[in-house]
Amino acid sequence: MPRFLKGSAPRSLSLLLTLLAGCAAGTAGSGVASDEDAQELRQKAVFLCEHQQLLAPVVSRFPEGVEPSDFIRQEDLDFIQRTPSLAAPTELDVPGLQAELARYVQCESGRLSVWGDLATVELRQLRPQWEDPLLRTPEVLAPTSPEQRRSALELWARQNPATVSYQHQLWFVRTPEGWRRDYSLPEEEALFSTHFAVPRCEGAPGVPGPGEGTGPAQVMGEPDDVVPFQNHMSAPRRLWGPRLELPPEAREQRVGGVGRARCTINREGRVKDCCVLKSLPLVDGPFVRSLLRSRYTPGLLDGQPIQLRYTFTLRLTPPR
């Protein structure tokens, strides 16, 4: 599995890391979904769970007659089509088998939160141990009839009652056609496939002003299509993201202090267009990368999601 699909394993750090919102203290509460939105989100989350679509979309697992685009963001489906090895079928992905396996999967939706065009559904999955090699028999993989496969699965399930349980949080975005599962595959892949350089913000200490000889590759100006954060607004709340990992050089040099990055949080809660306002040596890159891989509650103006310009502060305390 590519590294951008793997969970981020926390590392024990000798430094105290505190990631804070830079402009205002306070949190934005979860939005309340309408009955129609809640029903659609829960039904789609459970369906995707039952058909083993939690980590990445595997189109072959959808039942016949079901359109994956009714459940999954088109950008992720396009990415899978361009990168088929990402979600390559397994030996259990044979015609008809996944529909039968779905009958043995129990999925229960939990807390549901909506922030404008972004939503999350907490989900618990209880399934048999598909990893058992005894499941891979000719009667299951290549039966002479659907009845033979069903009988073989029922026998295996009785003889192998052990199950595994997983907790998941599924992300959805609102589209004109309805809610769609958001795996963020192309966005995550882009962060790992390109050289990562963090521009400085215009107006940052030591950065020349416009027309003073600094090229656009080194300095990022203010976007003009976003709303600046103001004190009367609720501060965006971090919903999910990897833990900040410091490079070995920063630990060895006991880097500490305050760093600030100004970014845009779009309507789906993604962080983009970041630049550094206050630099921390050796830490700017990891700090901004952790922001770009995180999701936040989107900014709201008159109840509608907006693109919000926001300043994030990192307080880094070195060990004594």
Q: What is the pLDDT of residues 79-122, one digit of tens each?
A: 999 888 777 778 898 889 999 999 999 999 999 988 888 999 99
**pLDDT averaged over every residue in the chain:** 82
Q: What is the pLDDT of residues 51-82, one digit of tens each?
A: 999 888 889 899 989 999 999 999 999 999 98
Q: What is the pLDDT of residue 239?
A: 79
Q: What is the pLDDT of residues 19-33, one digit of tens each?
A: 333 333 233 344 677
Q: What is the pLDDT of residue 227?
A: 92
pLDDT at 213 over 70: no
- State how far Cα 22 lies from the chain centre: 23
How does residue 196 score in pLDDT terms, banded at 50, 70 and 90? low
Q: What is the pLDDT of residue 220?
A: 61
Write the DSSP string, 221-273.
Answer: ---SSSEEP-TTSPPP-EEE-PPP---HHHHHTT--EEEEEEEEE-TTSBEEE
SS3 303: coil
**Beta bridge mates, 178:** 175
What is the rounded CA–CA span in Å between residue 287 and residue 280? 9
Q: With 0.75 as the threshold, say if the pTM is over it.
A: no
First to last CA, the chain: 39
